[in-house]
Amino acid sequence: MTEQKTVHDYLRQKKKFPTVWCPGCGIGTVMNALIRAISSLGLEKDEIVLVSGIGCSSRMPVYLDFNTLHTTHGRAIAFATGIKLFNPKLKVIVITGDGDGLAIGGNHIIHASRRNIDITTILINNYIYGMTGGQVSPTTPEGDYTYTSPYGNLEPQFDTFRLCDGAGATFFARTTTYHVVQMTTFIKKAIMHKGFSVVEVMSQCPTLYGRLNKCPGPVDQLKMFKEFAVPFAKAEKMTKEELKGKIITGILKEVESPEYTERYWRLVETFKKGSEYEGKD
């Protein structure tokens, strides 16, 4: 019988703790849920590759004892694509944030969705650039304050689901750091889904976003997530006005579609045999 692992078995023991994240930050909660999801699936550490770019959330692989790659700003999905194509047996997981994944990395998430490559992306959305000093991000709510929008954000907020859905992602779930059990379940489903999967986790940033928007306490932000979260099934019956300011949670999309890596390796094997490729799935 395999000995049951604890959270500590998945951490780099020589890494200094506590983490680099501010007190009350939600990223540690997401890391805990990721560990529990991987553990409950019975996956070995060598089966996992964590890839991140730049930002607060992208520091997560530093603390986890998996195969890890800490890359350049916005390029995590590009690196992850190379890893998955080289070794399709690996479970490749991208850890990114709303700035890293949707601003400078926006083009990569679009094309990974379009290809439907078997990569899991956990996008931690705290409405602001955290590590680089509190700039406005693609998901900062309209009217909210950041250090680069001191009079309120003029830009409309990005809807991550609509972007990924329109580009072709086959799995999308949204949850919050308040809904920890739900988050763990969604991450498990995303990892096992064959195709490009995204789990967007709404997370608190008390140090920057909270202070600038009169919600400095992490508990206050968690209460906000609890209050404004609306399950997907309920949201479908609500009007656009009723949904204003709400966070729609749940599995918003889960469909089957040909996966890019399998198609790629079928093409490789076809040419190895010297036969003509007809481009059929």
pLDDT tens profile 2-61: 556 777 889 998 777 788 999 999 999 999 999 999 999 999 999 999 999 999 999 999
Indicate the pLDDT class of residue 1, thresholds 50, 70 and 90. Answer: very low
| pLDDT score recorded for residue 51 | 98
What phi and psi, each to the nearest 5 degrees, are found at residue 152?
105, 140
CB-CB contact of 69 with 61 (8 Å): yes
Non-local (6+) Cβ contacts of 62 within 8 A are: 12, 15, 20, 68, 70
| DSSP secondary structure letters along 161-213 | HHHHHHHT-SEEEEEETT-HHHHHHHHHHHHHSSS-EEEEEE---IIIIIHHT
Assigned token pair, 215: 């919600």
Which percentage of the chain shows pLDDT scores above 70? Answer: 96
Residue with the larger pLDDT of the pair 35 and 214: 35
Domains of the chain with bracketed CATH: 8-256 (3.40.50.970)
Number of H helices, E strands in the chain: 11, 8
pLDDT surpasses 80 at 281: no
Indicate the pLDDT class of residue 277, thresholds 50, 70 and 90. Answer: low
| pLDDT score recorded for residue 275 | 57
Q: Cα–Cα distances in Å, from 130 out to 51, 60, 198, 207?
A: 19, 14, 21, 8
The Cα angle at residue 200 between residues 177 and 121, in degrees rounded to 5:
120
Indicate the pLDDT class of residue 269, thresholds 50, 70 and 90. Answer: confident
Tens-place pLDDT, residues 198-207 = 999 999 999 9
Tens-place pLDDT, residues 146-171 = 999 999 999 999 999 999 999 999 99
Strand 67-70 relative to strand 171-176, pairing: unpaired
Once rounded to an integer, what is the mean pLDDT over residues 106-122?
A: 97
| pLDDT score recorded for residue 273 | 77
